[in-house]
Amino acid sequence: MLPSELLLVRRRSGRIWPRYAKLSSENLEVANLLIQAYSRHMGEKKNVLKEFVGELENMGYDYRFVRGLSVLLDRRSVLKCNVKVDPVDLRRRLFQATGRLGLPTTPEQRTRIVESVASEMKLTAEMVEEALYADLDSELVLAEFNPLSPQSLLKDYNVSLTQTLLFNSTELDFTASGNWQRIFYTVKRLGLIYEAYRRSGFWVKIDGPASLFKLTRRYGTALAKLLPAVIANPGWTVEAKILWKYTNEICDFKIESGRHGGILRKPEPSAVSYDSVVEQNFAVRFEALDSGWVLRREPEPVPAGRFVIIPDFSFEREGVRVFMEVVGFWTAEYLRRKVEKLKKIEVNMLIAVDEALACEKLAKLEKHAKLNIVYYRNKVPLPPILRYLEEAFQHAKEKQAQFVRSLPVTFVEPVVNYEEFAARIGVSTESVRTTLTEKPPQGYVVLPNSLVKKDKLEEIGKTLEEQMSQTGRLLLPEAARIIETEGAKDSSNVLKALGYKIKWQGISPETAEVIMPESKQTEKDS
């Protein structure tokens, strides 16, 4: 965060956002000059360093921008009192000497007091003068400095601007593409008040500092510390209501990774960690299989009533997702809370339970329609997990196929790509392929990866013939280009449907030649 007087914002039509520093050549030059100044002023007093900062302000740069960068560099610096005596003790001795020798109403009297204390402490008068106020902030000496790149400094500045603005928020909502375990660990560690909900994805609402009656500063600082954990993800969105204290107006604030990710500095990525050897062992063994499922560590949280559970894993395949929680050895109180949350789960979830915990409370969960319990000893067994995943996939695929069959869709496009259509309606490619090949729409030819209108297929065939008649031969890359230009991506299957064959000259497709169907060749010869 930055001091509130250094906050730069723009407001318009009920919206507010920080005046972020662009990574322009001018801003990068300012950042670079400041970084070099700190590196160059090692061993010098802070007031000398700040004189240079003042010079930049006098050159026409916004003083709040320059001072904001300087504040961040101060935090990367170690400033020390560079004298051998304690200034506080020295000032106490001078005060006592003044009591003995009288007030220093003239320069001569002041010199006499200073020399008296210097003699007492076995110092020179010059050393006393130098150490007298050496502990003041402006007199501290720059002893260490941890430099960074100008780009990183500007990005840190933009993060600090955002944190400072959020200090005035009444509420904060965010979503992220991952890292949820670390995010919720941070939320709880900081003592933030939160609520989880669904809104085209998983969102978390945090009460803002401006919504509380007390502890505003401490709570605002805690909220600011949450932001880096959110923006550490590849994808994220942050929304907030900001109470602009100067007008008492509530303004909307929004930033998202797509627009702002490049100007905000992310914390260093942390390595994937596991809560137990059992989890790590399972992940290694599962990922070694060619199961068709993608294993994700710490996926998005799952609502469980008014609480959330952050599963240990999720298995994903063509739009189907199954979660998995590994319940190892924990305290009785933890297990009680875990069971209460699992009772409220509304998604398919595998529960791998250590046999040592096969207690009555966990046994009751076996009746839960959404939960499937697998017991293990030492390591989670793979066969029952794979069986459950396959059953879940077939069940989901059948439900999706029923959904596709029920859609009142009439295709008009010349080419229907199964994968693209599946993505449009939110189902697996396999369910679309199964449904459309069972009963193809009238006038379409079924290909392994798409449907193509018969007249479009004939049109492609004529184009290929014309090209072949002009050049006398047709190479495979040129045929593929013609087919893709016509909107069909499945070039090899289009050629097969038209009766064309491919004559290979080695293994390179660049030299492969397309051979006209015998029926077409006979027509041409006659």
pLDDT at 513: 86
The closest of 203, 200, 422 to 319, measured between CA atoms, is 422
Average confidence score pLDDT of the chain: 83
> Which class is domain 167-270?
alpha beta
Q: What is the pTM of this model?
A: 0.59
Q: Give residue 290's pLDDT.
A: 84
Element (H, E) at 206: strand 202-207
Of residues 13 and 337, which shows the higher confidence score?
Answer: 13
Residue type, 407: L
First to last CA, the chain: 84
- Whether the predicted pLDDT of 362 surpasses 80: no
pLDDT (tens digit, 9 = 90+) per residue, 246-267? 788 899 999 999 999 999 998 8
* Beta-carbon contacts of residue 463 (< 8 Å; ≥ 6 apart): 482, 486
- Among residues 362, 252, 343, the alpha carbon closest in space to that of 305 is found at 343
Give residue-wise pLDDT tens across range 231-247: 988 899 999 998 887 78
Q: What is the pLDDT of residue 286?
A: 92
Q: What is the mean pLDDT of residues 468-485?
A: 84
C-beta atoms surrounding 244 within 10 Å: 15
pLDDT higher than threshold 90 for residue 107: no
DSSP state of 328: -
Q: DSSP for 449-516, please give it.
A: SEEEEHHHHHHHHHHHHHHHHHHS--BHHHHHHHHHHTT---HHHHHHHTT-EEE-SSS-TTS-EEE-
Q: What is the pLDDT of residues 478-524, one digit of tens each?
A: 888 888 888 888 888 888 888 888 888 877 888 888 887 766 655 55
pLDDT (tens digit, 9 = 90+) per residue, 418-428? 888 888 888 88
- Residue 187 in this model has a pLDDT that exceeds 50: yes
Q: Looking at the DSSP assignment, which residues form a beta bridge with residue 325? A: 351
**Alpha-carbon torsion (226, 231, 236, 240), positive or negative:** positive
Phi, psi of 16 (to 5 degrees): -145, 145
**Cα–Cα dist 147/219, whole Å:** 30
- Give the DSSP H/E element, type plus range, for residue 255: strand 249-256
**Does the pLDDT of residue 84 top 60, yes or no?**
yes
Half-sphere exposure of 426 (CA within 13 A, CB side): 4
- The closest alpha carbon to 488, from 513, 463, 468, belongs to 463
Predicted confidence band of residue 332 (pLDDT cuts 50, 70, 90): low
Within the chain, what is the greatest distance between any pair of CA atoms? Answer: 131
The pLDDT score that the predictor gives to residue 215 is 47
Examine the pLDDT at 271 and tell me if it is beyond 60: no
Residues 183 and 409: their CA atoms lie apart, in Å, by 42
CB-CB contact of 230 with 266 (8 Å): no
| Equal CATH topology for 167-270 and 277-394 | no
What was the pLDDT predicted at 236? 93
Tokens, residue 308:
């959330």
Confidence of residue 359 (pLDDT cuts 50, 70, 90): low
For the chain, give every domain's residue range. Answer: 83-133, 167-270, 277-394, 415-525
Amino acid at 76: R
Q: Can you tell me whether residue 250 is helix, strand or coil?
A: strand
- Please give the average per-residue pLDDT across 116-141, as a whole number: 79
Query: Is the CB of residue 170 less than 8 Å from the CB of residue 211?
Result: yes
CATH of 277-394, one of 3.40.50, 3.40.1350, 1.10.3470, 2.120.10: 3.40.1350
Q: Which of the residue ranges 21-25, 54-58, 165-169, 213-217 would you say has the lowest mean pLDDT?
A: 213-217
Tell me the percentage of the chain whose pLDDT exceeds 90: 17
Q: What is the mean pLDDT of residues 300-308?
A: 73
